[in-house]
């Protein structure tokens, strides 16, 4: 007898979105949803943070107007679909929420507990975490099947990938909904089981770490290390430039998670990385990392 085809999971039809965190990732996530026609509420801890995110969205869209990709009126329409709110209680009507708050487990846990109180039990709750276990966040809410990772890449409007991270409890419907949403955003989704660093950071952070060891050992200059990876491997940025771009603190956080979760010394962070984070040289966001961004 021919095997019966499995019935594909039905995704939920989503029209409204909530984004928590208006920083480097959150503002980009809000922008791409609004551009794709969704109504988006954007939250952060203060109105000034949200205004900062809205300014960045405005400037990204102005560039698209200059490049004649969208008209001025389309820009205004996109912006009109974004509603800033500093009060998470306003998320009670959201069907789909993505959090992109600080990459600290306690902060994320507080957000998920609050969302569980505020949102309807059928709403889907996604995290843009780069390293925190989805399974642990899902365990904090009733109906944990509605929790998954929706991992975007920086800069969100440019990068085409979304990792859909399935925690132990994530339902097939939740994954299917995130897959369909990602496609509506013009992104390519890949599915990955909850595992330290998922696919992306498990591979890229050890590469960056190895570049830092290479620098620390005096084998080559930072410029030459980056040149090898740009010209020899066709990477758009060298690994040290990329570390500055992502944030050295984020790279260290991911490496710590990989090291502790796998208990494998191959993931130990380079002492130079640790030292730079201690010095507050976190990359572009502090205007100093492996390179100097004083003039930015
Ligand atoms: N927001 C929106 N758009 C941006 C942007 C930003 N922050 N930065 C650049 N862009 C746009 C520019 O407007 C430009 O668009 P255009 O073609 O319409 O003019 C386009 O991107 C190219 O930009 P530039 O010409 O200024 O510069 P580059 O060609 O050097 O590209 C880059 C910049 C896209 C950032 C490229 O260097 C790149 O792809 N770098 C690698 C980025 C990467 O690896 N990201 C993943 C990081 S890992 C991660 O996010 C996971 C996390 O969990 C750690």
Give pLDDT tens digits for 71-113.
Answer: 999 999 999 999 999 999 999 999 999 999 999 999 999 999 9
- For ligand 1, the distance from its centroid to the CA atom of residue 236, given in whole angstroms, is 9
In angstroms, how far is CA 215 from the centroid of its own chain?
28
Mutate to test the pocket of ligand 1, among 153, 155, 203, 242 (most ligand atoms within 8 A of CB): 155
Q: Round to whole Å and give the CA distance between 54 and 31.
A: 9
This prediction has a pTM of 0.94
For the chain, the average pLDDT equals: 95
> What does the alpha-carbon distance between residue 72 and residue 75 come to, in Å, rounded to a whole number?
5
C-beta of 63 in contact with ligand 1 (< 6 A): yes
The reported pLDDT for the residue numbered 1 is 45
CA angle 260, 264, 266 (to 5 degrees): 115
Reduced to 3 states (helix: H, G, I; strand: E, B; else coil), residue 148 is strand
Q: Which long-range contacts (CB under 8 A, 24 or more apart) does 215-220 make?
A: 215/240, 215/272, 215/290, 216/270, 216/271, 216/272
Q: Is the CB of 250 under 6 A from ligand 1?
A: yes
Is residue 67 in contact with ligand 1, taking CB distance under 6 Å? yes
Write the pLDDT tens digit of every residue in 166-213.
Answer: 999 999 999 999 999 999 999 999 999 999 999 999 999 999 999 999
From 23, 158, 229, give the residue whose CB has the most ligand 1 atoms within 8 Å, as the site to mutate.
158
Q: What is the dihedral of CA 241, 247, 252, 258, to 10 degrees?
A: -90
Tell me how far apart the alpha carbons of residues 94 and 60 are, in angstroms, rounded to a whole number.
25
Sheet (strand 16-20) strand order: 82-84, 39-43, 16-20, 96-99, 124-127, 147-151, 161-166, 188-193
Catalytic annotation, residues: 130, 151, 163, 201
**129 Cβ closer than 6 Å to some ligand 1 atom:** no
For helices 239-246 and 200-216, give the axis angle rounded to 10 degrees: 120
Q: Vertex 119, ends 114 and 253: CA angle to 5°?
A: 45
Going by alpha carbons, the residue nearest to atom 34 of ligand 1 is 158
């Amino acid at each position: 007898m021919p095997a019966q085809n499995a019935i594909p999971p039905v995704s939920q039809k989503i029209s409204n979105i909530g984004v928590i965190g208006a920083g480097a990732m959150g503002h980009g996530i809000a922008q791409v949803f609004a551009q794709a026609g969704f109504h988006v509420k954007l939250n952060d801890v203060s109105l000034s943070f949200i205004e900062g995110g809205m300014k960045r969205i405005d400037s990204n869209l102005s560039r698209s107007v200059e490049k004649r990709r969208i008209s001025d009126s389309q820009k205004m329409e996109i912006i009109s679909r974004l509603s800033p709110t500093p009060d998470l209680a306003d998320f009670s009507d959201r069907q789909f929420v993505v959090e992109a708050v600080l990459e600290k487990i306690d902060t994320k846990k507080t957000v998920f507990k609050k969302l569980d109180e505020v949102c309807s039990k059928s709403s889907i709750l996604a995290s843009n975490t780069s390293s925190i276990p989805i399974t642990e966040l899902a365990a904090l809410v009733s109906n944990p099947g509605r929790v998954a990772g929706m991992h975007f890449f920086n800069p969100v409007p440019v990068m085409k990938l979304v990792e859909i991270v399935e925690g132990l409890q994530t339902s097939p419907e939740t994954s299917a909904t995130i897959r369909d949403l990602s496609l509506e955003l013009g992104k390519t989704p890949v599915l990955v089981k909850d595992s330290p660093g998922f696919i992306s950071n498990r591979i890229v952070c050890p590469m960056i770490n190895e570049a830092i060891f290479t620098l620390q050992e005096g084998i080559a200059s930072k410029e030459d290390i980056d040149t090898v990876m740009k010209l020899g491997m066709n990477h758009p940025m060298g690994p040290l430039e990329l570390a500055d771009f992502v944030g050295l603190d984020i790279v260290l956080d991911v490496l710590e998670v990989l090291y502790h979760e796998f208990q494998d010394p191959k993931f130990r962070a380079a002492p130079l990385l640790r030292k730079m984070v201690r010095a507050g040289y976190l990359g572009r966001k502090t205007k100093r990392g492996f390179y100097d961004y004083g003039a930015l």
